[in-house]
């Protein structure tokens, strides 16, 4: 580098060709202050995640471990032979689920009319005559189809 021209001269000549305007007042002091300031921002990217990982590790390390439960001594079950019911008996003796009351799917019937009450009284008082009356009704009723004449629409001009 000794053979090369001085770095300051190169910078001055490059900056002189770049602009003719003078720098703002105090610009040099601000640039020097920023260059001398400690670079805390670079370490923050490493320090913050490291601190978070250490906090999590410490949290999990200090968690209390559950104490193992000690088994409680229970008396031995009686050794007498137990009669086990067969499956069919268990099914027959098992309580059946209760059925819910039947809910009608239609609306409750309306009270009978006066004509219906008279007919009911007639059938109860004279059953033979009511049966003979039913036999007189033809079993095959014929319903003739309706005949509808075609529509004719007259114009309003006529």
pLDDT for 64-88, tens place per residue?
777 777 767 677 666 666 566 566 6
- Retrieve residue 101's tokens: 């009351």
Give the pLDDT of residue 124.
92
Tokens 């529509």 locate to 151
- Distance of CA 69 to CAs 61, 66, 72, 75, Å? 22, 9, 9, 18
DSSP letter assigned to residue 107:
P
**pLDDT above 60: residue 90:** no
Alpha carbons 23 and 9: distance in angstroms, whole number: 18
Higher pLDDT, 114 or 156: 114
CB environment 83-94: b (16+ within 10 A), e (fewer): eeeeeeeeeeee
**Element counts in the chain: helices (H) and strands (E):** 6, 0
* Contact of 14 with 7, CB cutoff 8 Å: no
- Distance of CA 92 to CAs 97, 98, 123, Å? 13, 15, 48
**pLDDT above 80: residue 133:** no
Every domain of the chain and the residues it spans: 7-61
What mean pLDDT is reported for the chain?
77
The whole-number average pLDDT for the span 122-139 is 81
The whole-number average pLDDT for the span 47-67 is 83
- Distance of CA 7 to CAs 13, 31, 50, 69, Å? 10, 19, 41, 78
Vertex 119 angle, CA 113 and 125, to 5°: 135
* This prediction's pTM: 0.22
* pLDDT band at 155; cut points 50, 70, 90: confident
Give the pLDDT of residue 92.
62
**pLDDT above 80: residue 5:** no
């Amino acid at each position: 580098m000794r053979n090369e021209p001085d770095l300051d001269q190169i910078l001055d000549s490059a900056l002189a060709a770049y602009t003719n305007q003078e720098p703002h007042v105090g610009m040099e002091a601000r640039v020097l202050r920023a260059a001398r300031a400690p670079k805390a921002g670079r370490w923050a990217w490493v320090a913050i995640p490291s601190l978070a990982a250490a906090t999590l590790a410490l949290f999990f390390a200090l968690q209390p471990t559950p104490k193992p439960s000690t088994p409680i001594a229970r008396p031995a079950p009686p050794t007498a032979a137990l009669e086990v019911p067969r499956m069919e008996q268990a099914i027959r003796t098992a309580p059946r689920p209760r059925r819910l009351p039947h809910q009608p799917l239609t609306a409750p019937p309306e009270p009978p009319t006066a004509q219906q009450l008279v007919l009911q009284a007639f059938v109860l008082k004279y059953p033979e005559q009511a049966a003979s009356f039913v036999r007189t009704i033809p079993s095959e009723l014929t319903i003739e189809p309706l005949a509808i004449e075609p529509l004719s629409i007259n114009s309003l001009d006529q």
